[in-house]
Amino acid sequence: MAKVINRHLLLNIPVAVIVLLLQFDSFIFDGVFGIFPLFPLALTVALSMFASELGAFLCGTVIGAFVDSSSGAHFSFNTVFYSLIAVTVSLLVHYLFNNNVRACIVLSFFSALILSSLRFIVSYYTVGFNNMFKHFLNGIVPSALITAIAAVLLYYIEKKIFKASR
């Protein structure tokens, strides 16, 4: 079982590099109407659907650390929450949801909604920010929708990688 987990995670390294380039290089992907999907979160959700809890935790931690190293957010905020989201998604898929594309869409939408809301509360609302509801409707919800759409493609890529690693 450990060889399958290691091979599965190693085969995801090129996908993770491409996803991180899409997220942080505005020359490659400029966003849709100024709204940017959270590609690393979509990859974390898709990867956690096929990994064990430990593998999901490790992938969430590594992807969150890469996001932390290249973003201006609070240090280790993304690392902690990406790993929590990865373990939660892995547990939900193994014990509650079926492993299909609908579950991927729902889990990535709510994960993006929760992560963006927590990031907004920690970064802006604590220092005083008006129009929270407007920001929620104009920024967080569309970003979560686009993240859920991007998660569909990453789900099918992850499904092929998982079948190839068996």
Measured CA to CA in angstroms, residue 106 lies from 46, 53, 110, 144 at distances of: 11, 19, 6, 10
pLDDT of residue 106: 93
Name the token pair of 116.
């963006």
- Under 8 Å CB-to-CB from 38, ≥6 apart: which residues? 23, 112, 115, 116, 143, 147
Q: What is the pLDDT along the chain (166 residues), one digit of tens a residue?
A: 444 456 666 677 777 777 777 766 665 556 666 677 788 899 899 989 988 888 889 889 988 888 888 776 667 888 999 999 999 999 999 999 888 999 999 999 999 999 888 877 776 666 566 666 666 667 778 888 888 888 898 889 888 888 877 7
pLDDT of residue 33: 67
Beta bridge partners of 35: 32
Which residue carries 């299909």 as its tokens? 100
pLDDT of residue 26: 61
Name the token pair of 97.
């949801």
φ and ψ at residue 28, rounded to 5 degrees: -80, -50
CA 155 – CA 50 distance, rounded (Å): 9
CA 163 – CA 68 distance, rounded (Å): 30
Which domains does the chain show, CATH number per domain?
2-165 (1.10.1760)
Measured CA to CA in angstroms, residue 117 lies from 113, 132, 137 at distances of: 6, 10, 11
Q: Are 20 and 64 in contact (CB under 8 A)?
A: no
pLDDT of residue 1: 44
pLDDT of residue 65: 87
Beta bridge partners of 32: 35
Q: 32-70, pLDDT tens digit by residue?
A: 666 777 888 998 999 899 888 888 898 899 888 888 887
Burial of 144 (0-12, 13-18, 19+ CB in 10 A): buried
pLDDT of residue 4: 44
3-state secondary structure of 89: helix
